[in-house]
Structure 1
Amino acid sequence: MTEVSKRQLFTGNAQDLGDGRASMQARCGLGMVVTMEHDSKDVDFYIAALPEGVREIFAAVRQTIANLLPEAAEMIKYDMPSWQLSGRPVIYAAAWKHHIGLYPVYYGDAAFEAAIGPYRVKKDTVRLVYSKPIPHDIIAQIVVARRAQLEAES
């Protein structure tokens, strides 16, 4: 079974085609419905299925992460984009109706927590709401801290 989302996205419905591809029916523009078939593990497909506005925000978040992790493997894991180094996840990002979630965001030193604190909603989750400017500097701090943690564990 592929890792295609079995839940309804707020942009449409993903359906497993049974061969590693997915069919996404997404609402766009003037109420038109577009059906796309693509590899279900492709982050480009994930982003293309997002509504206009969210798509651009998520693409910018993706670029921030990619700039910090140029050698990372980018893939879909647990129905969301993931960036991995040596098979170990550095960060996951998911687009939701009102925010982008970043996971896992573990606790750090006092300075890290002071910066991340306003965005933390659970012990390992950061929420970046669309109604406020996306803090790319915070994303960078999270990615750098997580990478350092993984490197220290190696």
Structure 2
Amino acid sequence: MEKYDTVDSYINSFNGDLKKKLTEIRSVIISNYPDLIESISYGIPAYKLNKKPIIYFAGFKNHIGLYATPTAHEHFSQKLEKYKQGKGSVQIPLSDQIPFELISEMIAFNIQSTKSKSD
């Protein structure tokens, strides 16, 4: 597995529709949540608040993986039930529209959870 130093280099390693969708996810995150710190963690794009994970995403051959913490996945389980899931992960098939509103809701939930824990 290739190692990436930046989210740009990670996204630029993909082509076509997958690259476009990864770029769109990134744009939604950074434009709506400017306080999140962007980095590469576990080899994929990561967004953190106060060093706490909020969301990660990754590109694969047939899907995009979203990793928004097991607590968020449990909270949004009904909205996520149409997707293949693991503990804290969800697979969005490349043939599907990206659920930007749901991603934003999950991010907001994790931000609120993180802030509540630090109070």
Give your verdict on TM over 0.5.
yes
1:83 aligns with 2:47: yes
Higher RCO, Cα 8 Å, sep 6+: 2
Deviations 1:86-129 (A, max 9, x none): 11111111111111111124211xxx322222225113111111
Alignment correspondent of 1:44: 8
C-alpha separation in 2, matches of 1:138 and 1:48 = 25
Higher share in helix: 2
Give the number of the structure whose alpha-carbon radius of gyration is greater.
1
Structure 1 gap segments, 5+ residues each: 1-6, 8-13, 15-21, 23-39
2:53 partner SS = strand
C-alpha separation in 1, matches of 2:66 and 2:56 = 6
Structure 1 window deviating more from structure 2 (120-129 vs 81-90): it is: 120-129
Alignment correspondent of 2:104: 140
C-alpha separation in 2, matches of 1:54 and 1:124 = 22
Deviation at 1:152, TM superposition (A): 1.3
1:115 aligns with 2:79: yes
User: Is the CA contact 1:74–1:84 (under 8 Å) kept in the aligned structure 2?
Assistant: yes
Select which of 64, 88, 112 maps to 1:100.
64
Deviation at 1:144, TM superposition (A): 1.1
C-alpha separation in 2, matches of 1:99 and 1:105 = 19
TM normalised by structure 1 equals: 0.69
TM normalised by structure 2 equals: 0.87
Q: Aligned runs of 1:57-68 on 2, under 5 Å?
A: 57-68=21-32
1:49 partner SS = coil
C-alpha separation in 1, matches of 2:70 and 2:90 = 7
Identical residues among aligned pairs (%): 27
Which 4+ residue blocks in structure 1 deviate beyond 6 angstroms?
none
Specify the code of the residue in structure 2 equivalent to 1:138.
L
Structure 2 gap segments, 5+ residues each: none
How many residues get paired? 115
Specify the code of the residue in structure 2 equivalent to 1:46.
Y
Alignment correspondent of 1:54: 18
